[in-house]
Amino acid sequence: MQFLTIAAALASSALVSAAPKASSEPLERRACSVAYPASIGFPINYDVHQDANGANARTNIVSFNNIPAGSYGCQLEVNFPTNYPITHSGASTVSVFTLDKNGKEAGLFGTVNFVSSPVAPTKYVINSATCSNLMTYELKIASPTLAGRTAFADTKDAGITMTYNC
C-alpha cells in the first residue's frame, strides 16, 4: 500500500514538471504568401489539348516572376471553388514540366487532373521546389497517343498559384 502511495506521488510530480510552461514571448501568426502567374491580366484562359497521336497539340506556359529573393518552400498549387467550371474530355490528365531559363524542358514536375468538386473547394499540390526569382512550367496532355483536352479560366480566386514562406 505504501508503495502505491509513493508511486502515485512520483507520477503526479512527473506530470506537473512535464506540463508546458507559459511563455512571455507572443506567438507570431504564420501564413503562406501567394504568388499569381505572371500575365497581362486575369482571367488567364488555359486550354491544353491534343488530337490522337499528339497531333495538333497545344501546350500552355505558366510563369512566376514575382517571388521575393530569400523565399523558401515554393509549392505549385491548384485551387478551385466549389463547382468551378472546367472543360475536359478524353485523356485530360496534364503533365507539368519545369522549364529552364532558355525555355527548354528541364524535367517532369508533376501531373494533375484539373477538376473541381460539386460540394467543397478543391486544392491540389502539384509539387514543391526551391524558390527562385523565375519559375516557369509547361502544361501538356500527359498521354503521348490519346486525344484529350482540359480548359479553365485562371482568376485570383481559382486556378494555379505558387505558395511560399509557409
* Residue pLDDT, tens place only, 107-117: 999 999 999 99
Would you state the cell numbers that stand for residue 93, as one nine-digit string? 490528365
pLDDT in tens, 46-56: 999 999 999 99
Report which of residues 24 and 69 the model is more confident about.
69
Q: Which CATH class is domain 40-164?
A: mainly beta
Res 25: pLDDT: 57
pLDDT in tens, 60-108: 999 999 899 999 999 999 999 999 999 999 999 999 999 998 999 999 9
Q: Distance between CA atoms of 97 and 95, rounded to whole angstroms?
A: 6
Res 31: pLDDT: 83
Res 4: pLDDT: 44
Res 42: pLDDT: 87
Res 1: pLDDT: 47
Q: What is the mean pLDDT of the chain?
A: 87
In the 8-state DSSP scheme, what is residue 58?
B
Report which of residues 138 and 42 the model is more confident about.
138
Report which of residues 41 and 162 the model is more confident about.
162
In the β-sheet with 135-141, what is the strand arrangement from edge to edge?
60-64, 135-141, 94-99, 105-112
